[in-house]
A and B are shown apart, each in its own frame.
Chain A
Amino acid sequence: MNRLTSLIGVLNSVELTRISRRVAIILIAGMFAACCWTHVSPLRGQTTGKTDESNVDAPQVFEGHDEYVYTVSFSRDGRTMATAAGDNRAIIWDIEKRKPLHKLDHDAAVYAAAVSPDGLLVATASGEGEVALWNVATGKQVAIQKGHNDAVYGIAFSPDGKSLASAGGSTDGGDTACRIWKVDGLTLTKELTGHERQVYGVAFSPDGKTIATGSSDKTIRIWDIKTGESTKLKGHTSDVYRCEFSPDGTKLASVSQDGTVRLWTLKTASSETVFKSERKEPVYGAAFSTDGFWLGATGDDYHLRLWRTSDLRLAMDEKVSAKSLYAIAISPNQEFVYVAGEDGDVRQYPMPQR
């Protein structure tokens, strides 16, 4: 307001005519209103692409994959990071040195990797329908199951680390069952069936009682593990890729081929669109920070975006490269956000200020 009055004062001092002074005052008042709107609008940045983070440090790059990194996953303590890629390999990383610690070779593309909560195991999901467990310390395979008839796209550990969920399918549907495995011995304990097309995303709720799956049939299903019954979340207009529970379990973020990021309130099964890409570029990856303060997403417009979940204000919007981005993860200590995709590099960016 002080700036506005001083500007009006300047206008007075140059002895403008009454009319031109009025016009100028109206113009400045308009500009001031626009500034205020920009400052308070929850859509700020979303529509303009601008953020309140003007200086983003150059990323640190983890080189090890040739191409197509599909997931980045952390252990609960943040000491173990695993990636899965289309170069038929998963990698367990030495995070400090930014070098591969163990390379886990497969006979087909690895579409997902998850680190167990205790950081001792990595689970991988392959294009040939295999689910495998690997010892983080040695990099040796400890168990493998030809668990699916088609490619496996999603895998997740339960919060207690005792169960593992996996799901996939083929373009015309195929084997779309979400299977739950006992980690000890990798034995099948439950099969959740219902999706009509392949399943890309699998996530356990923080209490471990439900599982969310995102499918090419445009729906998300929330499964009650005990009963095997599911609730459909409808709203996306094309394939749903990853889905992630908020740490308090009340919300679910989903990303889709339809170019949107949606945030679902699970109690009411309603959603709001957090983001819609400009030219319907698909959004492939989503991640919450461990305290639920941040929600991040990446996709086919090559941008990394972070929103504050409290008001869905865009806090970071960075064009990462000229290649598609499939994966995003926020380190458990919430110091860094990691993105990766088609070019095979994993990039580490510092998180924005709160």
Chain B
Amino acid sequence: MSRNLLFLVVFSNLICFGWTAIAHGEDSAARNLPEPGSVVIDQEKGELILSAKVQFPEGKPCIDDFGQRIQAFAGCSKAAGGDAKMAAYFVFLVDVETEKVFDGLIDLGCRPRVHYSIQEGRKRSGLKTETKPEDYLQGDPVVLSVFWKDAAGEWVEKAYQHFATEQTTVGENTIEKPWTPHFVFHGSGAIHKSGTGCIACPCDCPGGIIADNRFPIYDPKPVVKFDMSKAPPVGTQVYVRIRPIASTLFESAKNSTAADAVQADKPKAE
């Protein structure tokens, strides 16, 4: 009887210990994920994590169909103190203001270099023989990914460009290729308060804060298709991870403040 009691005590202690360990592990993981309405700035890993929900922007450009668009696939529901103007276009709808994402990247030492208002961007639009380096939005490079728990409860993480395919012309033929954007943190959307909500745009557009600056502003725009079947189901809680390659890692972060980064209203060439 006493042996049975001892066994019961030991067994129940083991269960409690195991449960506590699992719960502690989950807590640890949860601590690195943002609560709704907040962002996680992980200085140690040098990354920013945003909370988002998947939505289906049916009928919008580039959704399940090749096209050109200025709107990001990941964007914020709020911007510039109001509802984000492009919120209906995003697949990954982040629940904080764009300005908070901007501030987070600045905190990580990421710096914009050339940023414009939408007005100024229009003036500098297009690839011409006289196009200058400062006609491209510029800043520190960033890498984006999206992660979520799948139906089996396993974490899945995919690069931002995993969800889309690009179309291009070779001679007289149209071919499909992987989407190979070059994302830089120019910060324009927050600095100039565009109010679009866009985080990472699939072209060089000053409405957001991160752009693919392979081409000059607005023209040409890459032809891309976002494949919704590659994204988790609508309504899924996902997290957007942004990892900057911060230029301030090579200098004193204290000597390069956020104020330095945003004071440059005039274009800055590298």
Contacts and interface: CB of A to CB of B under 8 A. Distances in A.
Nearest to A170: B193
Given A108-B123, A151-B119, A302-B59, A282 B80 contact: no
B85 interface: yes
Nearest to B81: A172
Interface string A311-343: 000000000001100000000000000000000
Contacts of A172: 80-81, 193
Interface in B94-120: 119
B209 to A, nearest CB: 14
Nearest to A322: B61
B254 to A, nearest CB: 28
Contacts of B85: 239, 257, 282
A227 to B, nearest CB: 30
B165 to A, nearest CB: 19
A256 to B, nearest CB: 10
Contact of B58 (A151, A170, A197, A279): A279
Contacts of B58: 279
B138 interface: no
Given A171-B193, A171-B195, A279-B58, A127 B119 contact: yes
**Is the contact region of chain B dominated by helix, strand, or loop, or is it mixed?**
loop
Nearest to B57: A279
Contact of B82 (A216, A279, A300, A322): A216
Given A302-B59, A322-B59, A322-B61, A171 B119 contact: no
Interface in B64-89: 67, 80-83, 85, 87-88
Given A171-B194, A300-B88, A238 B61 contact: no
A203 B119 CA distance: 25
B122 A239 contact: no
Contacts of A197: 81-82
Interface string A219-243: 0000000000000000001110000
Contact of B83 (A88, A108, A127, A258): A258
A109 B81 CA distance: 24
A7 B141 CA distance: 71
Nearest to A87: B122
Interface of A: 86, 88, 107-109, 127-128, 151, 170-172, 197, 216, 237-239, 257-258, 279-282, 300-302, 322-323
6 contacts: A86-B122, A108-B119, A109-B122, A279-B58, A280-B87, A282-B88
8 A-B pairs with the lowest CB-CB distances in the bound complex, closest first: A171-B193, A171-B80, A238-B83, A171-B195, A127-B119, A172-B193, A281-B88, A108-B119
